[in-house]
Structure 1
Amino acid sequence: MSNAELNELKRKYVANGAASPATAFADHAENAEIWDADGNRFIDFAGGIGVLNIGHRHPKVVAAVKAQLDKVMHTCQTVMPYEGYVRVAERLSHLVPVRGHAKVMLANSGAEALENAVKIARAATGRPNVICFDGGYHGRTFFTMAMNGKVAPYQTDFGPMPGTVFRAPYPVDYHGISEDEAIRGLMMALKTDAGPTNTAAIILEPVLGEGGFYPAPTTFLERLRAICDELGILMIIDEVQSGFGRTGKMFAIEHSGVEPDIMTMAKSMADGMPISAVVGTDHLMDASGPNSLGGTYTGSPTACAAALAVMDVFEEENILERSRALGEKLTKRFNQWQARYACVDNVRHMGAMAAFELVSDKNTRTPDAELTGALCRKAREEGLILLSCGMYGNTIRFLMPITIEDDVLNEGLDIIESCLESLV
């Protein structure tokens, strides 16, 4: 079917809240390129929102999924378990830098992982409250919506959010929130709202995803760890977007050396297959009773096969080094733009988790969300899929496959430069 025909079906049958505003429909893809239903080619700088760190249809992942399809597609692991689930758990327990011996539960999505992390924290501590941070994004289920540090579009139409979720500032010096101010805000939340003896966990992204690609300073993470230890609060790190090589290490928290109690991950864990994980210290993960964690499709055989293949690819193809090299290439180009264009500011990266801001005035750092939206639209017209993010809607973020070929990368960057020239 053509794009036009598919758009008509979308208009008639897909709920408005779930319908994509994009009018081109993906037909097939390879590494960092997508072709639509009309045969038009797009360079993919979005990676399914950080899901395709090793590219569309990595051959080793495709082969692993096909092989699994020839054996078993589903039994529900709580009814009849299978090798893939326990092998993924074993591999993750050795990869994830939580305190002590790790145990694992698998789920389907980042939101499910966060929901279960909170359940586990409550069971382990006997406390109800959680503290999250401004700008954080954790999902679209009801509890994770309450945890999100941004109202629109995630909470807008859905009525009261669950209680027992409290908020603290996230340190972003560029926008006037220092590390000391963020710590003061957290301590005030503990004093006036959450209460330390009622707080099960402090939950944060080590690099904000939807909130703008801002990495938390190492000293901030160290101070959070010390506060949690002093007050008996669990530290939960959300690596759904930053995990699996995006920052140049397997997980962003590794840059700090801080060991959390529990971590969540999803997105690039299985190169497009739906799977997520909660990994935590064994006595925490074992705190709830039999059959208290899981679901019908959690850790499906095909998704587990994909996840195991992804972990093999990381070992065999130097993905972490490629991530660091990609980040350097991006930042070199961004710095050129920052020097050249009055609108480009605050270039930053951690590995290939790279971004810059578009502003109307560099002196006042005034966000320019209108220009940001125009750049993304213009890039799409020129065959480049580009994403924005941030509390002020003015950050351009980059989530192309780490495996992107140099000529495709440069072609995409040239499109951005051309669009900037035409817009400013």
Structure 2
Amino acid sequence: MNSTPSGGVQPGSGAGVATTVSTLITMESALLVPLALLVGAFLGGGAVAIIIAAARRGHRAAQVATATVPDGVDQVIDALESAAVVLDASNTVIKTSPGAHALGLVWHRTLVHARLTELVDRVRRYGEPVTEDLELTRGPLGDAQLRLSVRVAPLGTRYMLLIADDRTEAHRLEAVRRDFVANISHELKTPIGAVGLLAEALEHASDDPDQVRRFADRMKTESARLAAMTQEIIELSRLQAADALADPTEVDVDAVISAAIDKNRVAAEAAGIQIVSGGAKKARVMGDEGMLVTAVHNLVANAIQYSAKPSRVGIGVSMTDDIVEIAVTDQGVGIPEEELDRVFERFFRIDQARSRATGGTGLGLSIVKHVVQNHGGDVRVWSQAGYGSTFTIRLPRAVGSARASTPKQKVRS
């Protein structure tokens, strides 16, 4: 019988197999642990990368959803007097200045006018700033026309900036200037042409003393009218200058009324018109006495011109709430209601025939309006056709002027 060493294990016995299996398992485990760690690290890094990418996409989505303009642009737009609009890539308005809403360019975060959208799209397509003058309506429902100078330019890579300057008033003033020049040309042609024709007629009638006197009188009338118109045009131009009232002084309203009455006394007596005045005493305003005399004189002359013979022209002065009012009332033909808004226009005449017969230029009331505006006041008119008119100049009372007012009384005629 064969024997083995004491304590040994036969190669084919169960104990040897178990030992071998255990050893193999131990070796396999030693290999699997690092492999598992490697796989876990790989899988974990991918998960982190996926999470970071998702976060970035979410951040970009949030930026699009809550778009903001670049740093500093907000403050610049808020400081602009012009209308300014910032739009994103989808032409959604994300920032506006107050002027943009005042001009009616934006409505519900969109541009109101298709023409503006077309400009923005053109700049976005070609990348070059564009400036255009446009005539647009104010707001989506309004019919008032605006003249705007519009500039569109890229703002960074994502946004567009639109700036609009309102040129409506400048265009209106230019139109007024053109009309004024045209009116002057037309109005001056009449007396100049008349003087030329009368001179020619005078030459042919040199042997007839009566004709010479008649033509000479008409020439004097036309030349006087031409001189008056020229003087009023010069006066109106001076009143429209920026420094028309650069050095105001305290003016006694009573002195202004007296001077205006004296300048119209002869014309009133010739027309059979009685001038009466009364009201507050010692009223004072800040301004230019010569300009105010001209304004009141023009109102009184206008009242005499349109009054029937015999009648009265009244001048009343009152003070209420630190306002001095000078009212000139006549009993003349009155002004039709549809023409009340036009009486202060240059060269406007209610009765063309009467104005030409009396030498009226159509500039008197326009001068009144500019004088009063230069003094920080306003002028109002009430009239009823067939019953007369009242023109009222309202001026701020000079500080320290008497506040009390006295009943109107006749002081001069």
- Fold match (TM-score > 0.5): no
TM-score (norm 2): 0.22
Larger Rg: 2
Give the structure with the larger helix fraction: 2
